[in-house]
Amino acid sequence: MQSFALQQGYCYIVGINHVPVMKKLNFLLALGLVLPFSGYTQALPADADVVRKMADYVIAHAAFTFTGNNQTYATSKEIPAGVNATISDHLSAWHYPNGVLNIAMIDLGNYLKEEKYSAFAKKHVAFAFDNVAYFEALSKKGVKYKEFPFNQLIHTRVLDDCGAMGASLLDVYQTVKRADYKAYIDKAANHISKAQERLPDGTLCRPTPYKWTLWGDDLYMSVPFLARMGKLTGDNAYFDDAVAQIKHFTHYLWDPGASLYIHYYYEDLQRQGVAHWGRANGWIMLAKVQLLNDLPANHPGRNEVIADLTQQILGVARYQSASGLFHQVLDRTDSYTETSCTAMFVYSIARAVNEGWLDKRYISIAEQAWNGLVREKITPDGQLKDVCIGTNTAADLTAYYKRPAELNDFHGWGPMIEAGIEIMRYRESKKK
């Protein structure tokens, strides 16, 4: 009886006399004895099982409670006077990654027709709105402390505060028509369209860290909300602004030599930053896809957005590693492979193929990246490894190399679930 050992693309066939004979991997592939992934013989779990494990982990670890003085409180009404209570966990908090996660959970619930996932997003939003008044009153009294609950819900200063969470609230609002939800949606729309700082040509920017700084991240913190507002209201001005932001961000941040985006642009210096940071490129790609999800077919800017998305996908594809994963700094192979940006690319590419915006031959980029994520970045119980934490701009490249990649950092959950949905969609379509 023969045994087989796989080593870097070759298989050693060991017979009774234990004399190894090296054969090409294709020989065993033809026999169906190994998987078509160089260096791996173990079958990957079913996509639906992987995605459910991640989503179920989220549901199990979001407490939707408050903690203070070593006590847990189910609602703000239970918090004693003088206790500086915080939200018990990041999954229950109100920050932009939570908005990305809420959207993904709604998408998963709709795709699998399993309400418990959509219910998570509804519960998350309700937890905030049912408890925010208590903390808003404290804020008006001047009370401040570290990790003040719902600070970004109470005080809207930059796009991070309202864009992604506002987009997720728009999705929840499709089925939960609360007046306070609509009031917040209108507030966020006013901030993004009229209050947020812009360059003279209309490009959204920030007052920090320097006046004015253009962040690649902010394309996601604005465009998905604008697209949803256009769909909700029928006002083409939202769509027009979203398309314009795609053009502007590409103008300022695209590096044609590398075919990648730079993380930021300093307006005061009129100079791009130093890093082709993975997640910034991911945010930009996600924003384009989320716009196309809602942009009317007859909008004059639609084909230009598709062309811009295609250009970015082809650019990023050059930097995919042998494992299928992408690096923290995309063009620096000595930086670590990072989970969230890889997931963003998987989602965007697979959805573009599924929706017919991109030729189906490019699905292999997404599939190899997804397979790499499943093999290397997801634990058996659905936890996420190697997710870069929140990252500010930096003038030195080493800051991006050194940025910590943590277990279960909440920047990873939404993109990973969305990636799994689109891979499932594609692979299920092949069976029909």
Higher per-residue confidence, 31 vs 87? 87
- Supply 347's token pair: 């989602």
Position 292: which residue type? L
Angle between helices 179-190 and 159-173 (to 10 degrees): 140
**Which pLDDT belongs to residue 44?**
87
**Which pLDDT belongs to residue 432?**
77
Within-domain flag for 24: no
Edge-to-edge, what's the strand order for the sheet holding 71-73? 71-73, 66-68, 86-87
Angle between helices 339-354 and 363-376 (to 10 degrees): 140
Question: What percentage of the chain exceeds 70 in pLDDT?
Answer: 90
283 pLDDT tier (thresholds 50, 70, 90): very high
We report the CATH number of the domain holding residue 310 as 1.50.10.10
Within-domain flag for 42: no
The total number of residues shown for the chain amounts to: 432
How many domains does the chain contain in total? Answer: 1
Q: How buried is 358 (Cβ within 10 angstroms: 0-12 exposed, 13-18 middle, 19+ buried)?
A: buried
**Which pLDDT belongs to residue 223?**
98
Within-domain flag for 20: no
**Which pLDDT belongs to residue 24?**
41
In tens, the pLDDT along 141-189 reads: 999 999 999 999 999 999 999 999 999 999 999 999 999 999 999 999 9
Whether the predicted pLDDT of 56 surpasses 50: yes
- Supply 353's token pair: 């193929």
Within-domain flag for 310: yes
> For residue 316, is it left (φ>0), alpha (ψ between -120 and 50) or beta?
alpha
Give the span between the Cα atoms of 287 and 276, in whole angstroms: 17
Higher per-residue confidence, 2 vs 305? 305
Q: What is the average per-residue pLDDT within 401-406?
A: 98
Within-domain flag for 365: yes
255 pLDDT tier (thresholds 50, 70, 90): very high
The β-bridge partners of 254 are 261
Within-domain flag for 412: yes
**Which pLDDT belongs to residue 244?**
98
Give the span between the Cα atoms of 185 and 233, in whole angstroms: 12
Within-domain flag for 59: yes
Question: What percentage of the chain exceeds 90 in pLDDT?
Answer: 89
Return mean pLDDT, the chain.
92
Whether the predicted pLDDT of 98 surpasses 70: yes
The domain in which residue 219 lies consists of 47-430
**Which pLDDT belongs to residue 42?**
62
Closest CA to 169 of 242, 224, 244: 224
pTM over 0.85: yes
Count of alpha carbons within 13 angstroms of residue 221, beta-carbon side: 23
Residues 240 and 178 sit within 8 Å (Cβ to Cβ): no
**Which pLDDT belongs to residue 288?**
98
CA angle 398, 384, 280 (to 5 degrees): 40
In tens, the pLDDT along 351-402 reads: 999 999 999 999 999 999 999 999 999 999 999 999 999 999 999 999 999 9
**Which pLDDT belongs to residue 225?**
98
40 pLDDT tier (thresholds 50, 70, 90): very low
Within-domain flag for 332: yes
Count of alpha carbons within 13 angstroms of residue 162, beta-carbon side: 22
Whether the predicted pLDDT of 10 surpasses 70: no
Give the span between the Cα atoms of 39 and 204, in whole angstroms: 46
Q: What is the average per-residue pLDDT within 306-331?
A: 98
Backbone dihedral angles phi then psi of residue 413, each to the nearest 5 degrees: -65, -50
CB atoms within 10 A of CB 56: 14
